[in-house]
Amino acid sequence: MEGVEHRVIKVNGINMHVAEKGEGPLILFIHGFPELWYSWRHQIASLSSKGYRAVAPDLRGYGDTDAPDLVTSYTCFHIVGDLVQLLNIIAPNEHKVLVVGHDWGAAIAWYLCLFRPDKVKAVFNLSVPFIPHNPQMNPIDGWRAIYGNDYYMCRFQEPGEIEAEFAEMGTETVVKAFLTYRVPGPIMLPKGKPFGHSADTPIALPSWLSEEEVHYYVSKFDNKSGFTGGINYYRNLHRNWELMAPWTGCDVKVAAKFVVGDLDLVYHMPGMKEYIHNGGFKKDVPMLEEVVVMEGVGHFIHMEKPDEINNLIYDFFRQFD
């Protein structure tokens, strides 16, 4: 990408790759699974041209950032710790920054707001709303009870198992299967027929995703020896649940805006629409200014509708300049 500066910064015991462009108030972009800094390419170009400093790291385990071997090195505290130290290094004089997250990146952004509200001026999250801690049931047992053992988060739990199946499918097929997923329902990965079709079924790309862009993702995941780093986030869902017990009942004290596509699988999780629209979300995030549901849009909303998302981000953040 033209004008994007790349550098590697030592944070929290790892080397973190960061892409950035522009000058002005800092916007931290936090990607999800199976993504990279590159998922924010449209937002980096747009917001940097509007007077912002767009900063997008490869998270721990992804792309050109280190991937520690231990599964236990991927808790929400590790990831937030990486980002806090990154901000301290690259913006030591900026008391608070603007944050944008998607998918796991949105979850991490909510954690950042919960743990360090002093670092965040405002948060703009996509796809995943704030999910309050439920002391009655850990998330993996909950998902297994609802969807069964073939649900992707459950299939991700055993180290090495899903990686072997993904290796058999091929990195390109896995990347395409995830990025083109538009079913408003759960991702199921039954053995031998992941995503509900045979591994050799051709996958047509939508207009918003090119073969060249897919190949960038593929090259980075191949260089990383697969998807283990990103999958390790899911392997810490139970551990995060245990560690988050002290924050039971805490709300997010940061100005927020939330956008989701009406075809997003997260939006169709049991109870999610009710939580988002019937007061629960607003109760847990009192400074939530608006929820936007975009019609006919899937999970990777920032790539599918970049112009609309760029405008929504800009319109929300400019009030904090």
Q: Which of 147, 152, 233, 234 is catalytic?
A: 234
Q: Does 284 participate in catalysis according to the annotation?
A: no
Q: Give, in order, the Cα–Cα distances in Å from 65 to each of 8, 90, 96, 213, 241.
A: 8, 16, 24, 19, 25
Six-digit token string for 175: 């990347």
DSSP β-ladder status, 120-126 and 53-57: unpaired
Whether 146 shows a pLDDT value over 80: the answer reads yes
Tens of pLDDT along 10-36?
999 999 999 999 999 999 999 999 999
- What domains can be seen in the chain, in order of their start residue? 5-318 (3.40.50.1820)
Tens of pLDDT along 272-316?
999 999 999 999 999 999 999 999 999 999 999 999 999 999 999
**Burial of residue 289 (number of CB atoms within 10 Å: 0-12, 13-18, 19+):** middle
**Burial of residue 317 (number of CB atoms within 10 Å: 0-12, 13-18, 19+):** buried
Q: Does 103 participate in catalysis according to the annotation?
A: yes
Q: Which of 17, 31, 78, 299 is catalytic?
A: 299
| pLDDT for the residue 257 | 98
The pLDDT of 113-138, averaged and rounded, is 97
Percent of the chain with pLDDT over 90: 95
Whether 198 shows a pLDDT value over 80: the answer reads no
Average pLDDT, the chain: 97
The pLDDT of 35-42, averaged and rounded, is 98
| pLDDT for the residue 225 | 81
* Integer Cα distance of 188 and 240 in angstroms: 23
In this structure, what are the phi and psi dihedrals at residue 86, rounded to the nearest 5 degrees? -60, -50
Is 125 strand, coil or helix?
A: strand
The pLDDT of 145-155, averaged and rounded, is 97
Q: Which of 66, 103, 264, 284 is catalytic?
A: 103
Q: Does 299 participate in catalysis according to the annotation?
A: yes
The pLDDT of 163-179, averaged and rounded, is 95
Whether 3 shows a pLDDT value over 90: the answer reads yes
